[in-house]
Structure 1
Amino acid sequence: MRDHPTSVLMFAAGFGTRMRPLTADMPKPMVPVGGRPLIDHALALAKGVASGPIVANLHYKPQMLVDHLMPQGVATIIEAPDILETGGGLRNALPLLGQGPVYTMNTDAIWAGPNPLAALASAWRPDVMDGLLMLIQPDLAKGYAGQGDFTLHDDGTLSRGAGMIYGGVQIIKTDMLHDIQETAFSLNLLWDLMLADRTLHGLAYTGRWCDVGHPGGIAQAETLLAAHDV
């Protein structure tokens, strides 16, 4: 079994509740940001690292995403009748992703700086890591008003708590997914197992990041993109 990721799962199944009313007629990943659908920004990053399949899981208004992604070589898997959340969605997509660790990425963020997936690949150590999360310092984040998700320790391990923001991009081993009984579940369940074993690690991103999970994030993301392109 390979121990370095080659395939990418893009999470695109959510209802886009925080993005209403823009998501009344389209799924959130199709909302335009900087002149192109939000998911295309994520796809460009995925194509920068993937030598294996790129997969998107879908649920809400899926046909628009199928029509958009399939011509770009992205495999799609529709969760029906119910949404499976991040953990269940990843497990459901494993037949398309293959064995071994995978990249996963949320599709509602804009990154300005190095490709975060490539940065994770450079830091990935499968002998001591079961998961590696890309984290954002609050002063480098836009569109986020929380207290952070994790504390990053000097040895790269993580604990729950205020401090660093999870940016929605990771490398993760998938073996333990099969030990979880629920059909629909969050990847937080898997992270908790890794935290207990001290095999969940983090990496601080060196660029800037914007959460585009709500309408106000669009203008902030476009400003960030414009500054990054100068």
Structure 2
Amino acid sequence: MTRPRAAMIFAAGFGTRMGDVTRHTPKPMLPLRGRPMIDHTIGILKEAGLTRIVANTHHLHDRIAPHLEASGVVISREDPQILETGGGLKAALPLLGPGPVMTANSDAIWIGRNPAATLIKAWKADMNALLLVSPAAGARGDFGLNGGRLERRGDYVYTGLQIIRTDRLDEIGDEVFSLNRYWDLLAEDGGLHGVVYDGVFCEAGDAAGLAKAERLLSNV
């Protein structure tokens, strides 16, 4: 089994759901329990043994790049345009190297067992992608699970962390595209898998989510 050694953190977005606060501060740099939100993600990845961490940047690059570099994170700068998640991953491949990689959303917070370690333990060589999912709380989910394989629409939400093979990204010719398009491609031969996280997941993508994450982490 080839486990991932490299990870990509998506940190290029504009953070518009946060409102005015992200006009001058990149969302991944907003404080959470006294340190930048992205530091929680970096810590989880390093703890799980990911030896090379890359983050893409675009919005307010100069206000996040020095912090990332000081943390040992390699930067994939998207300029002049933002490339979305799929395009961002594709552009970062020269920095990530060959083989499967882990990707993480910088506004995802996990409380409990190390989520990256959970994915690594469940990863198998015949998978195209393995997504960490959590039961949808009172809302329609992103995926259903059928024998470990993911199907569109169901009772689970994507928690922002996955292991994914990158060797078919060139089959999408566009420069700017979402990972959703790549997932659809990888799912064609049943290679899209999921594992349920046994801890608590919180998306801190807006002010309410960030406040919820602050409350949850205060009890840890």
Q: Using structure 2 for the length normalisation, give the TM-score.
A: 0.97
Name the counterpart of 2:167: 175
Cα deviations across residues 65-96 of structure 1 (Å, max 9, x unaligned)?
11111111111111000011111100111111
Residue 115 of structure 2 is aligned to residue 116 of structure 1: yes
Gaps of 5+ in 1: 140-144
Name the counterpart of 1:64: 63
Kept after mapping to 2: 8 A contact 1:91/1:177:
yes
1:99-138 superposed matches below 5 A? 99-126=98-125, 128-138=126-136
Q: In the alignment, residue 35 of structure 2 is paired with which amino acid?
A: R
Cα deviations across residues 124-159 of structure 1 (Å, max 9, x unaligned)?
001x210000001124xxxxx741100011x20010
Cα-Cα RMSD: 1.2
Aligned length: 220
Name the counterpart of 1:142: none
Cα deviations across residues 190-226 of structure 1 (Å, max 9, x unaligned)?
1101222110000000000111000011221011112
More divergent stretch after superposition (27-36 vs 2-11): 2-11
How far off its partner does 1:179 sit? 1.1
Residue 190 of structure 2 is aligned to residue 198 of structure 1: yes
Distance (Å, rounded) in 2 between the aligned partners of 1:38 and 1:148 = 25
- Taking every aligned residue pair, what percent have the same amino acid on both sides? 47
Q: Could you say what secondary structure the match of 1:111 adopts?
A: strand
Name the counterpart of 2:205: 213
Q: In the alignment, residue 102 of structure 2 is paired with which amino acid?
A: Y
Residue 76 of structure 2 is aligned to residue 83 of structure 1: no
Name the counterpart of 2:54: 55
Kept after mapping to 2: 8 A contact 1:108/1:213:
yes
Q: Could you say what secondary structure the match of 2:168 adopts?
A: helix
Name the counterpart of 1:152: 145
Kept after mapping to 1: 8 A contact 2:145/2:154:
no
Q: Using structure 1 for the length normalisation, give the TM-score.
A: 0.92
Kept after mapping to 2: 8 A contact 1:136/1:205:
yes
